Chains A and B, each alone.
Chain A
Amino acid sequence: MRFDKTEIALLGVGVALAISGLLAPGWLIFLLTVALAKGLVVQGVVMQMRAGMVSFGQGLFYCVGGYAVGMGGQFLGVSSAVLLLVLGVAAAAVLAMVLGLLLTRYREIFFAMLSLAFSMILYGVLVKGQALGSTDGFNVHSWGLFSGPASNPTMTIFYLTLACAAVVAFFLHRYTRSGVGVVCEATRENEVRVEYLGLSPRWILYANYVVAAVVSALGGGLTALAAGHVDPEMAYWTTSGEFVFIAILGGTGSVFAPFLAALVFALVRTYAIELVPNGWQMILGITLLVIIVFLPKGLWSLFSRKKEGAHS
């Protein structure tokens, strides 16, 4: 197996983060954990963006992953983080396989609205469900990597998230280079031509949708384990909107971009909250506006400058 530059860089960044985890203060580790977990959800959005579909309902799978972790501990007594994540991923895969049958028949705004509608249906159901704490949500039971409770949950979840993010990033990078990944981009450019090539865009988009759901659910599960609490807000449209925003912020240029964007977003937000408690949204908005105006292809274009120059 040969590794390209991105994959080697991935390994390097992963190791660097793992080492910095030993030195960084607790708050930064937690911020990194949540940013990486949300970065995974954004990977799901970016996968679909590459295929020309903008999902405004990725919060659906984020929430399914999170609630599977919460409910697995609450009702099934599962205390293994790995098992809980598998549970969330399986639930999301099954749900995506059903919803995908309908959703992949739609494109553009119709797909966006329909995906949003499904996530809001889940939100509505959870809000009415008083057994699950309605809008207050409920706490995730204590857990350990394979059996609970972990002696140092903050570090355990950090390394677990880092490992998941690295592995998923590796496979996603390969996926975008693979036949299916390239056809996804071709479908965005011209669906009819893809059909003339003898391929079925619908089933390719379907597979892409299911994989994106699985990746997002993994991110949701990791967030729930880290934060220790789940609530229906995870499926609310503003949460999905945040993911789309981070996706645009990072750009679709590289598998690194969603993680980088999630981290920048989290850092800008937390310092804005600290420095301007009454107007942090304005700081956040202006920063993002500046980035979009000057870097229309996202933050990643700062790093891909040389490569692009050589191509053109």
Chain B
Amino acid sequence: MKTVSTHATTFARRLSAGVAALAITASALAAGTAQAAENGKFRLGIVTFLSGPAAGPFGVPSANAAKVVVDALNAGKLPAPYNTIGINGVEIEPVLIDEAGGATKQVEEFRNLVERQKVDAVVGYISSGDCLAIAPVAEELKTLTVFYDCGTSRLFVDNKNPQYVFRTGLDAAVDNIGAVRYLAATHPDVTRIAGIQQNYAWGQDSWNDFTQSLKQVMPKTQMVQEQFPKVFQGQYGAEISALSVARPQVVHSSFWGGDMEAFVLQANARGLLDDAIALLTCGESAIDRYKDQAPNGMIIGARGPFGAFAPENELNTWFKTTYSGAFTMAPTYPATKMAHAILGLKYAAEKAGAKPGSVPASDAIAKAFAGATFPSVSGTATMARANGHQNVQEIGYGEYVYDSKAEKGTLRNVKTFSGDCVTPPDGTTSDEWIKADFPGAKCN
């Protein structure tokens, strides 16, 4: 056997040795091009999910938004004050990376972005685990990094003294504090509340923030049922039955993506949503896809003033028109958040005081970014928490209504709550702030 196979595979071996050699040469060449990338352009790393379950609802709209905004910035086509070319007059060269694969791999790819691809700044990260893992590495490598979506409240608790890490998205606690405030304002009489969450950090934290806030703001409410199906389960028959039996008036869920759409579809068909109002903290991301499968009056949010909740202003009108023109659908909240993060970076880089036409140093951008107030597609953002590294903005909730004539999902009864009403002040964790009944909250 062995003798025969040795002769037969000699050619195959040579061939594969050749292929291997070719692959190594190719990677060396690729390394060469990457090394030579300091070409005077502003190299911007963009990291978001391009594969896996989070790609469809979040990653791809974000990558699309990045493309639209970067192209327009390079052409100088944005409305004022962002009508200058690129960033600080330097053309932007985006480097797109897939966020899939877990935190260890993302740390490796982040180092590759900075040290091999020589990016000048990084915008990205949806997963909270990735943000927690990347933050210390970004500080170590002194690379300006803007987290645009991940919501974990632990980000600036674990990294107490951030220098190069910024978050333009809102803290996830804001979603649920805002949801409770909306409920108190629009449905003050409800008492029976149930919840269904994906059984992982996001779902557990969301439900914890929501129930704790509810105890403070609406003390008469009681939790009649909670369900924690595993993430990406897709079928919720048993959970919906359990929820129905408990006869809740409101069903809170932090579901997102395919799970959320599946739950709405199944709960609506089974009549759960005839009697109970669904409250979906991430609901806006599917506003164009529910059609008539979701009941009117379902409460949805966008994790801040993003997507359909973004205010009317010149920047947002431009963004919505351009995005819809390029991708035949309106931007959902992840898309707005990505545009928002890139604009924040541009604002800080141009405020850094470097000579126009040059790439500003990370230190200078970081200094200008900290505590900055910048106009954005989502209104006005203020980096007002965590020593000026965490954005504080208002959050909106509203009711979903399907316009059957225009075949389009719209919003009604939108209420927004100011950033100071829903965001914990510095020096206290969201958990402590909620339990202390929101000291210092300024609500409109």
Contacts and interface: CB of A to CB of B under 8 A. Distances in A.
Given A135-B202, A274-B95, A287-B23, 16 more contacts: A25-B115, A26-B115, A133-B201, A135-B129, A135-B200, A136-B129, A136-B152, A223-B104, A227-B104, A227-B107, A227-B108, A277-B98, A278-B98, A291-B16, A309-B6, A312-B2
Given A34-B108, A136-B132, A294-B15, A268 B96 contact: no
Of B2, B96, B204, the most chain A CB neighbours within 10 A belong to B204
Of A138, A227, A274, the most chain B CB neighbours within 10 A belong to A274
A23 to B, nearest CB: 14
B20 A229 contact: no
Interface in B94-123: 95-98, 102-104, 107-109, 111-112, 114-117
A27 B35 CA distance: 12
A302 B30 contact: no
A308 B112 CA distance: 38
A227 B133 contact: yes
Contacts of A309: 6
A28 B30 CA distance: 14
B115 A136 contact: no
Contacts of B208: 130
Of A27, A34, A133, A312, the most chain B CB neighbours within 10 A belong to A27
B364 interface: no
B111 A30 contact: yes
B158 interface: yes
A233 B97 contact: no
Nearest to B17: A302
A303 B202 CA distance: 48
A190 interface: no
Interface in B138-156: 140-141, 152, 154
Interface string B189-205: 00000000001111011
B13 A301 contact: yes
Chain B contact residues: helix, strand, loop or mixed: helix
B103 A231 contact: yes
Nearest to A153: B140
B19 interface: yes
B15 A139 contact: no
A44 B128 CA distance: 31
B19 A134 contact: no
Given A228-B107, A231-B129, A273-B97, A27 B115 contact: yes
A277 B20 contact: no
A1 interface: no
6 contacts: A130-B204, A133-B201, A137-B133, A228-B137, A229-B129, A312-B3
Contacts of B6: 308-309, 312
B132 A137 contact: yes
A111 to B, nearest CB: 26
A74 to B, nearest CB: 11
A305 interface: yes
A127 B200 contact: yes
A302 B13 contact: yes
Interface in B33-52: 34, 50-51
A213 to B, nearest CB: 20
Interface in A161-208: none
B200 A227 contact: no
Contacts of B111: 26-27, 30-31
B443 interface: no
A94 interface: no
A156 interface: no
A139 B158 contact: yes
B136 interface: yes
Contact of A30 (B96, B108, B158, B204): B108
A267 interface: yes
A136 B201 CA distance: 6
A114 B223 CA distance: 38
B27 interface: yes
Nearest to A26: B115
Contacts of A291: 16
A22 interface: no
B154 A294 contact: no
B21 to A, nearest CB: 10
Nearest to A135: B200
A274 B34 contact: yes
A307 to B, nearest CB: 11
Interface in B5-25: 6, 12-13, 15-17, 19-20, 23
A275 interface: yes
Contacts of A234: 104
Contact of A231 (B27, B96, B102, B205): B102
Given A136-B201, A227-B104, A277 B112 contact: no
